[in-house]
A and B are shown apart, each in its own frame.
Chain A
Amino acid sequence: MEDIRILKHIRPSYDKNLILSRLGYKRGVTDLGDDFKQLLDNTVKLAEELCALILAYRTVDIEVKPDGTVRLEDGTVLSGKAMASMLSGADRAVLMASTAGPRVMEEIRKLMEDGRPSEAVILDAAASEITDAGLDFLMNYINTFLRRQGKMLTKHRFSPGYGDFGLEQQVHFARLLDAERLGICLTETCMLIPEKSVFAIAGITEIKSD
């Protein structure tokens, strides 16, 4: 198995409209007004300051089985039909992690306690989006190097908790990506702390040159 690679201080680009979507905004219908635009801008900026992204990835050999499981080179078995279907045709995959760190969650809690819940929900949505954007960044980053090997990542990725790719499989990601080193802990119910943390897997496919 290849070494785990860790990236820090990354500021991924992301679509601010996705934060709005998370908050129920509908283009052409929702009227924010100047005050809310200002509140949004300021809170999103705060999220960018407080999210100290740590990203990690590791490439592994995989074997996709017909029964909807994926066997990793160290013997770990991941189970989920849609996930396995996405990886079909790949013999390697990338395990990834993105975490925004504890500061942003502390601020969300503080805002709730201070009676500023509207800012808390914006900060929460922005932190989720930025954490996800960390994985987008990783996939673009990895693709840059794969391209010269005539390869690229699958367009989509899968995270534990999607469909039948059960949340309990976070345990495997935590072990294989050395989550503790990234500052991520797992609760008994397989939740990640800090909350704004996410694991994912994507397959490596070949670009045909003919």
Chain B
Amino acid sequence: MTRKKFRDLFEKGIVILDGATGTQLFRRGMPPEACPEKWAADNPEALMDVQRSYVECGSQVLYTFTMGGNALKLREYGLESQARELNRRLAQITAKAASGKAFVAGDISSCGMLLEPYGGISFEQSVESYKEQIRGLLEGGVDLFVIETMMDIQETRAALIAVRELCDLPVMVTMTFEEGMKTLMGTDPVSALVTLQSLGADAVGCNCSSGPAEMVEIIKAMRPYAKVPLIAKPNAGKPRLVNGNTVFEMDADTFCSYVPALIEAGASALGGCCGTAPEYIKKVRETAAKYPALKPEQGKYSLASSGRMTVRMGWDRPLTVIGERLNPTGKKFLREALVNNDMDKVAQLAREQMDAGAELLDVNAGVPGLDERKTLVNMVQAAVDAVPLPLCLDSSSPEALEAALRIYPGRAVINSVSGETVKMESILPLAAKYGAMFILLPIDDGGVPETAEERIEIINKVYNAAVSLGFSKEDILVDGLVMAVATGSRFAAETLKVLEWCGKNGFNTVIGLSNVSFGLPARENINSAFLAMAAAYGLSAAILNPNSRQLMDIKRACDVLKGRDRDAGEYIRLYSSRQNGTGQDDRRSLEKRTAYEAILKGMSGEAADAVMAELEKGLSPKLIIEESLIPAIRKVGTLYEEKKYFLPQLIKGAEAMQKAMEVLAPYLEKGSGTPVRKKGTVVMATVKGDIHDIGKNIVALLLRNYGFEVVDLGKDVPADRIIRAAKDNNADIIGLSALMTTTMTEMPKIARMASDAGIRAKIMVGGAVLDREYAESFGACYAKDAYSAVKLAESLVNDGNKGPSGP
């Protein structure tokens, strides 16, 4: 079957696939512990029986029963050496069942293990394992391939690359999406589609995992960006427990009732997965027959993807910032990091740029003397692990580019393909093979053309070569070719002319911004001005330093002024809470908070300032404590009890209180105020054997700020040390925490020892596994959370006739 013939199939109507085969074979006696592929190959009649039923019910494409037929998966059964033979035999069986009435799709799926860096299988190991399976399927006479039930985009890419490196048959690819519309490994439907259709999949979609209702939304999400037909092959609902048995819940009629919605969402190939049977497919075919063929939307979008997100670029979108910082040129610290293979630095730079607003990251590994191929691959892996942003692979080495493109789990942008013969011959085919977008750099063997006209001539030459390899305009970002204005005053104008021409001729554009100011002082001024000018000519993307606040401010302002930030929504979101245009703090932050308000809001710095201001006004420390600080911290506690505040807010309040008290401390010591008596002394410890102490630390912090003297002994504290500390400090309360059942038994022991030692201190306990009943069993009091502990401590010292006399 040619790829053209495959496309033609979809012009005739909705294509009907098959349904579940495994569950049908279980009914025909396949034991659950058997290797399904081996059992089916040894019992061809059972398999043919199922597959013939599907053909009779209207399946136009039959999947071979080889989903687990790659060598890595067959290894689980010790059958890896039979991979090729098993696949050949199973393809022959399915071809016989199809008997020319249906196309035979060689079925490929996951090896059951994750690829590096998540698991132990390397990308190339995976490709090779698939190739062995594909050779067998080809020998068995399959018409096309299907890669299905995939959860990892990287393993899916490995399978697709394996097919493409062995043949030019059509390939359908379906991934499995979980609740939340992402694959288990975090790929969303659009990123899956963009990555796979650009890598050469002839149809893309989803199968398994969810029922038909959930699949409608997945198909809808893919539709606007789909250049290929979309596939939906859902389960018969979700597995459910019925009378002690787990079953798929959906009958054929209910399943089929979703067919119209799936087709309207954009699915043009339908079938069934787990829990479905031939009668489901029959009903799907009958319903689908009422619908005409669907045409893919052919959305002309410039899309780059990673395994986790897709970025759309264009003049009608906010200008895309491509972070330039992962380039060692002129950066000694990065050069050193790359020489030392310090990929934490790469990850850090990637995160910083994302936080600053970059949507793609340019990655360049050009360090003299360093193996560029290896370094670029390492940098790509580090960046992919650190951030979800798509990458721009910046290299002129075809070897380095191919190595990086191979392992990059999305649709990358190649930076760049020029009109130089060698680049067109070596890099353009790489972009085509791996489905990458590319930056078209208008220079050629004659050097760097100075005029826009010469550049446009090169753009047309490279574009025509690209079209012959299957590219469209949206797959290209034309580089306006920025040259240093210090070396020629008309260079900036020539670049703008190129941008203008591109806009008129449907090309998206990019510039490497900082070149423009090379050789000049105060470069950021020149860069900013040129960015604004280029944006006015419809620039789509710029490679720049997103850490430059000035550049990012200008970019966002340009987005508003060019109508690329609808209703200035993003601008308002980002800037409404920042400083106003005059560089002054906005009105809200100009209003000074009182100490009371600062503690209530948990603002430590402001609490300290406010207390100082109140002292300067002549208020006494005692008055500030009694009139501001104590009421504030009490209010915080009340809000926490009412659940209007949650734990971090309660703690922030305590932190602010602490800061305020630190400011007052010297004045209290100087005697300029009445000393504040502590409410009581609490000896705190996490018991022996227990290392979970964050809860105890929070209680200690709160107690201090509610006026207690706290002696914190730390964690894993032996009982005798607690008893000694309680004695030495004349403690009013012993506070104990334990988080585990194995350690909470220390508590009654400590209670007994305290009693034996004649210590009168009350015992207060807390921790995840404790309850009131357990605490009371050895005469202790139980606090369920940090604030309850404060209230409990207060009531315990009050009961002991030590009334409150301070904060």
Chain B residues lying within 8 Å of A119, measured Cβ to Cβ, are: 648
CB-based contact B118/A7 at 8 Å: yes
Stretch at the interface among A68-76, A93-101, A161-169, A176-184: A161-169
Nearest Cβ distance between residue B769 and chain A, in whole angstroms? Answer: 8
Chain A residues lying within 8 Å of B691, measured Cβ to Cβ, are: 187, 191, 193, 195
Determine the distance from Cα of A190 to Cα of B642 in the docked complex, in whole angstroms: 37
CB-based contact A23/B182 at 8 Å: no
Chain B residues lying within 8 Å of A195, measured Cβ to Cβ, are: 691-692
Determine the distance from Cα of A207 to Cα of B68 in the docked complex, in whole angstroms: 19
Choose among A25, A40, A121, A151 the residue with the greatest number of B CB atoms under 10 Å from its CB: A121
Chain A residues lying within 8 Å of B642, measured Cβ to Cβ, are: 29
CB-based contact B184/A144 at 8 Å: yes
Whether B149 sits at the interface, judged by CB under 8 Å, is yes
Chain B residues lying within 8 Å of A112, measured Cβ to Cβ, are: 694, 697
Chain B residues lying within 8 Å of A34, measured Cβ to Cβ, are: 577
Cβ 8 A contact of A210, one of B27, B176, B185, B785: B27
CB-based contact B27/A209 at 8 Å: yes
Determine the distance from Cα of A40 to Cα of B114 in the docked complex, in whole angstroms: 32
Whether B652 sits at the interface, judged by CB under 8 Å, is yes
Cβ 8 A contact of A121, one of B351, B644, B694: B694
Determine the distance from Cα of A82 to Cα of B154 in the docked complex, in whole angstroms: 40
Nearest Cβ distance between residue A190 and chain B, in whole angstroms? Answer: 5
Nearest Cβ distance between residue A91 and chain B, in whole angstroms? Answer: 10
Determine the distance from Cα of A161 to Cα of B640 in the docked complex, in whole angstroms: 29
CB-based contact B22/A24 at 8 Å: no
Interface size on A, residues (CB 8 A): 65
CB-based contact B694/A108 at 8 Å: yes
6 A-B pairs whose Cβ atoms sit less than 8 Å apart in the complex: A13-B182, A40-B648, A112-B694, A187-B689, A207-B246, A207-B274
Whether B447 sits at the interface, judged by CB under 8 Å, is no
Residues of B within 8 A of A (CB): 22-24, 26-27, 32, 36, 67-68, 110, 112-114, 117-120, 149, 151, 176, 178, 180, 182, 184-186, 208-209, 239, 241, 244-248, 274-275, 351, 385-386, 577, 601-603, 640, 642-649, 651-652, 654-655, 658, 689-692, 694, 697-698, 701, 740-743, 769, 785
Nearest Cβ distance between residue B152 and chain A, in whole angstroms? Answer: 10
CB-based contact A117/B22 at 8 Å: no
CB-based contact A117/B651 at 8 Å: yes
Q: A108-B694, A117-B701, A189-B689 are in contact. Are A208 and B114 (CB under 8 A)?
A: no
Determine the distance from Cα of A189 to Cα of B738 in the docked complex, in whole angstroms: 12
A9-B117, A36-B652 known; 10 new pairs, CB 8 Å cut-off, are A10-B185, A13-B178, A24-B640, A29-B643, A30-B643, A120-B697, A141-B184, A148-B36, A148-B67, A152-B246
CB-based contact A49/B351 at 8 Å: yes
CB-based contact B647/A36 at 8 Å: no
Nearest Cβ distance between residue A195 and chain B, in whole angstroms? Answer: 6
Determine the distance from Cα of A35 to Cα of B275 in the docked complex, in whole angstroms: 49
Q: A10-B118, A193-B691 are in contact. Are A24 and B785 (CB under 8 A)?
A: yes
Determine the distance from Cα of A59 to Cα of B401 in the docked complex, in whole angstroms: 41
The 5 A-B residue pairs with the shortest CB-CB distance, nearest first, are A189-B689, A118-B648, A118-B651, A26-B643, A24-B646
Determine the distance from Cα of A116 to Cα of B648 in the docked complex, in whole angstroms: 10
CB-based contact B577/A189 at 8 Å: no
Q: A108-B694, A152-B246 are in contact. Are A30 and B648 (CB under 8 A)?
A: no
